Structure 1
Amino acid sequence: MCISASPNRDALFLCPDFIGGISIRKRNNRVVVHLNDTELSKLEQDTATAGMCREKYIRLALMGITIHPRPPDSYKKVLLQLSAYGNNLNQIAHVVNATGKVTTDQLEKALNLLEKTWDYVEDTL
């Protein structure tokens, strides 16, 4: 059995290496790396910025994958709102395509939605 730190690093939990004599680990090779305080601090900062554990961060870095900072939690709300604005614009476009005509009211609604979208993105991000 191994002892692993939980994601919040406040508590420890046990994880079994074997169940019924069969290894359940997909990664059976362990590598120990010694870091000085500066290197460990940099690793902790980078993993927190990326929003992932040390092990995953190191594996991705070894594979040459570019690791980007985790987007803020507010991005989900922004995407949902932008999706709603996009759906409204799509409905207007569908009516215009079906009828082949555009009214001033439809154009004003579309322009208003585009302005709301731009303002929302500017205010949120």
Structure 2
Amino acid sequence: MRKRNVEILFRLTRREAQELDKKVKKSGLSREAFLRAMIEGYQLHEKPGPVFYETMRQMSAIGNNLNQIAAKANALGFVDQPLYEKEALKWRKFQTEVKEKFLVPEKS
């Protein structure tokens, strides 16, 4: 049996429907999911752009590399110092790039 079995029909003006569609598109959700989230009291945000997903991918890759270094150090009883320093440098560089991209104001 369906979990959601109550159907609600309501009318909007053309302007209201356009505003709803604009907000739904920005959220990246379906219209139904958007309205359910609003009913549940969620503060919705715009779907992040491709820069966000690339940043997350890079952060995940660096985290995986550091995890491999930690697992190797645990298994062998010592840290591969050159590899660790290389990954630490990558992390610091990445951190600086993220700060510059998202936090430092741009000059107009």
TM-score for the superposition, normalised by structure 1 = 0.56
- Larger Rg over CA atoms: 1
* Count of matched residue positions in the alignment of Structure 1 and Structure 2: 101
- Structure 2: where are the runs of 5+ without partners? 103-108
User: Within 5 Å, which residues of 2 pair with 1:15-26?
Assistant: 24-26=1-3
Alignment partner, residue 55 of structure 1 = 32
Greater strand share, 1 or 2? 1
Question: Do residues 68 (structure 1) and 42 (structure 2) align?
Answer: no
Alignment partner, residue 4 of structure 1 = none
Alignment partner, residue 6 of structure 1 = none
- Contact 1:89–1:113 under 8 Å retained in 2: no
- Contact 1:85–1:117 under 8 Å retained in 2: no
Greater helix share, 1 or 2? 2
Alignment partner, residue 38 of structure 1 = 15
Task: After superposing the two structures, state which structure 1 stretch, 72-81 or 62-71, moved more.
Answer: 72-81
- Structure 1: where are the runs of 5+ without partners? 1-23
Name the % identity: 30
User: Within 5 Å, which residues of 2 pair with 1:1-125?
Assistant: 24-91=1-68, 105=82, 108-121=85-98
Task: Measure how far apart 1:35 and its partner are.
Answer: 0.9
Alignment partner, residue 21 of structure 1 = none
Task: Measure how far apart 1:75 and its partner are.
Answer: 3.1
| In 1, Cα distance between equivalents of 2:85 and 2:7 | 63
Taking structure 1 as reference, are residues 119 and 34 closer, same or farther at Cα in structure 2, changes over 3 Å only?
same
Give RMSD over aligned pairs.
3.2
Instruction: Answer 1 or 2: higher relative contact order, Cα 8 Å, separation at least 6.
Output: 2
- Contact 1:78–1:124 under 8 Å retained in 2: no
TM-score for the superposition, normalised by structure 2 = 0.63
